[in-house]
Chain A
Amino acid sequence: MNELSAINVISKRNFKPRWVAPTLREIKRRKDVEDDRNGGPKIFHRSTFLEWLNYNAEIFAFSNRLGEKFNEATLQTALTHKSYVERETARLSDMGVDSYLQIQNNEELAVAGGEMISKFTNGYLRAVFTHVPEELIMAMHEFLTSTSNLETVGKHIGLGDLMLCSDFPCESETYVKSLKAVVAALAESSGEERARIFVQDLVVTQLYGLDINELWNPADPVGNLTDILKREGKAEPEFRLIKHSGQNSVLAVYYVGVYSDKNFIAEGAGESLEIAKEMAAREALKQLFHTEDSMKALPFGRQLKNIQSKIVQLENQPNLPLSKWISEKVTSAVH
């Protein structure tokens, strides 16, 4: 056969006997009934398939995929769960073999890794969002280190098939623990610098495309703005109506502008005057914190090379809280 036949995308007509389709339909119907009775189709762990031959090869591929070097024993420990060790010891004692298994579990590594992830995320956030108050930093940190985010990261680097745990399908907590333990294992094997870059590349990048102002907003923007301007020695904020349309209708819109000493700061729009005033104060705060809609794009990956030392420095140095925030104290952005 010539080579061109395999490139043919049109599939062949397949004439099957006329009893095949009804038989398959009936089998599927019975399977669906059974699945519904059992609460969903049965899922099997990848290791039960016949193709699951080589755990070592999978581990090797895992470290190469991420471009990192792991200490074998540490990585094995990081992927072993307490529940697995318990299950194995129970199984052995059932069989009559009363041996204490020497496998370590990943509890300590998970705790250490969790602290590292938290520290590295904070370092990045404070180095990139230099003008932002600590409350917003904490909100972003909370999002990035949340169970759902870390679970997604863990699933997409292939931890699901490598973890040794007794529950299947694995719970979110298991994924999160494994990821944290893997970060700690990486720090132990290749150094904290590599672990920091790892967290920056995988965990922090989930901030991309997110509107950070949806994560946190000040509860009293007008009050906060007044306080900040007073602290900076500027005049009190003055709210003026700039534009309005459709006043007595359902689709009313009011644009309110914030002025300090007759200088325009920001404007906000809303369905009523109060809402518009609050939005204007929020916009003014956004401008002060450099988190407007038109703010600079966040740096990731290679773009962080120059500010790595700054990130390390700011890991343990929280930003100014909203109650003490003042422009002069905030360092200028590097990137």
Chain B
Amino acid sequence: MSNKHLFLPSGFIRTPLQNGLGRYIPQLQRITLKFCKNHGGSRGVRDFIETDLMEFAKTNPGTVVYLKPRRHRYPCMVAEYLNGEREYLSCHEFSRAEIQKWLSYMCTRSGIPVMRFRKYQHTDYPSIQGVWNPFTHQAPEINVAQFPHEILSKPVNNGPTATDQLIEIFKKTQIKDPVKPEH
């Protein structure tokens, strides 16, 4: 699944201005709701404005809400974020609950455009003990060793060869203490 055929840009998780490190600043600057006062497609928006809008404005005091009644136009919402990005969403024939849902979605986003996350974590300190290099865990003896070396020239962690094992077995079968013939 390559990235070449996707129009969706990909990237790593980031946040504008290290948001949340010091304090959390809600990134939604203002939201504009455009709707028609008559048309049926704006009914959900109108219901939302009549019932849930005040509560929304109270819970998000950092966002300015603008209402624009526009005749004979379909309803939509435009969200503007602190980093200058804008997000448009058509609310035609949405229900009141859907408007609520999409509005809360806009609130919790930063202005960074929607993208495919390559990884769900990010760190600026990928290595604590230091990145491996060929000298890590090497015995210092290699610096002053004359090659070919008895131990260092041989492969590491080889274990006994078949010949060595046979010699071991043979030695075990030898009688260590010869019994003195009783006379």
- Whether B94 and A66, one on each chain, are in contact in the complex, defined by CB atoms closer than 8 angstroms, is no
Contact of A205 among B21, B125, B143 (CB under 8 A): B21
Contact B82 A3, beta carbon cutoff 8 Å? no
Task: Check A54 against B93 for contact (C-beta < 8 Å).
Answer: no
- Whether a CB of chain A sits under 8 angstroms from the CB of B66 is yes
Q: How large is the interface on A (under 10, 10 to 19, 20 to 34, 35 or more residues)?
A: 35 or more
Contact call A294/B21, Cβ cutoff below 8 A: no
Complex Cα–Cα for A61 and B61 (A): 6
Interface window among A81-89, A100-108, A132-140, A149-157: A149-157
Bound-state CA distance A64–B28 (Å) is: 12
Q: Which residues of A contact B127 (CB under 8 A)?
A: 293
Within 8 A of A (CB), among B121-159: 124-125, 127-130, 134-135, 138, 140, 143
Q: Does B83 contact A (CB under 8 A)?
A: yes
What residues on A are CB-neighbors of B130 within 8 Å?
Answer: 293-294
| Chain B positions within 8 Å of A297 at CB level | 125
What are the residues of chain B within 8 A of A216 when measuring CB–CB? Answer: none
A6 contacts B66, CB within 8 Å?
Answer: no
Q: How far is the CB of B44 from chain A (nearest CB, A)?
A: 9
Is A14 an interface position by the 8 A CB rule?
no
Interface size grouping (class) on chain B: 35 or more
CB-based contact A205/B25 at 8 Å = no
**Are A64 and B61 in contact, with the CB atoms below 8 A?**
yes
Give min CB distance, A175 to chain B, whole Å. 13
Given A156-B83, A300-B22, A301-B22, answer yes or no on A245-B61 (Cβ-Cβ < 8 Å). no
- Decide if A16 is an interface residue (CB 8 Å cutoff): no
CB contacts under 8 Å to A, within B90-136, are 92-95, 97-98, 124-125, 127-130, 134-135
Number of A-B contacts (CB under 8 A): 99
Question: Taking the complex as formed, is B64 at the interface, i.e. its CB lies under 8 A from any CB of chain A?
Answer: yes
Judging by beta carbons under 8 Å apart, are A5 and B93 in contact? yes
Shortest CB-to-CB span from A33 to chain B, Å, is 26
B9 at the interface (CB under 8 A from A): no
Interface 1/0s, chain B 13-30, versus A by CB < 8 A?
Answer: 000111001110110011
Q: Is A13 an interface residue (CB 8 A)?
A: no
Pairwise interchain contact B21-A51, C-beta atoms closer than 8 A: no
Say yes or no: B17 contacts A153, CB within 8 Å: yes
- State in angstroms the CA–CA spacing of A182 and B32 once bound together: 27
Given known A201-B22, A300-B22, contact A208–B124 (CB-CB < 8 A): yes
What is the chain B residue whose CB lies nearest that of A49?
Answer: B32
Among A158, A161, A255, residue most surrounded by chain B Cβ atoms (within 10 Å): A158
| A166 contacts B by Cβ under 8 Å | no
Q: Does B18 contact A243, Cβ atoms closer than 8 Å?
A: no
Cβ-defined contact, B23 with A301, below 8 A:
yes
The verdict on A333 contacting chain B, using a C-beta distance below 8 Å, is: no
> Would B17 and A158 count as touching, CB distance under 8 A?
no
Kindly state the separation between the CA atoms of A85 and B22 in the bound complex, as whole angstroms: 35
How far, in whole Å, are A3 and B64 apart by their CA atoms in the complex?
28
- Asked whether B66 lies within 8 Å of A53 as measured between CB atoms, the reply is yes
* Interface: B62 (CB within 8 A): yes
Given A3-B95, A293-B130; A54-B23 close (CB under 8 Å): no
Kindly state whether residue B71 has any CB partner on chain A within 8 Å.
Answer: no
- The answer for the CA separation of A157 and B18 in the assembled complex, in Å, is 12
Interface residues of A in 160-206 (CB under 8 A from B): 160-161, 200-202, 204-206
Sample 29 A-B pairs with CB under 8 A, ordered by A number.
A3-B97, A3-B98, A53-B66, A54-B66, A60-B61, A61-B61, A64-B61, A65-B62, A66-B25, A155-B83, A155-B84, A156-B82, A156-B83, A157-B82, A201-B22, A202-B23, A206-B18, A208-B18, A208-B21, A208-B124, A209-B124, A242-B140, A243-B135, A244-B143, A293-B127, A293-B130, A294-B130, A297-B125, A300-B22
Interface residues, chain A, with chain B CB atoms under 8 Å away: 1, 3, 5-7, 50-51, 53-54, 57-58, 60-62, 64-67, 152-153, 155-158, 160-161, 200-202, 204-206, 208-209, 241-245, 255, 293-294, 297, 300-301
8 more CB-based (< 8 A) A-B contacts, given A5-B93, A57-B64, A60-B61: A61-B64, A152-B17, A156-B83, A202-B22, A205-B17, A243-B138, A255-B135, A301-B22
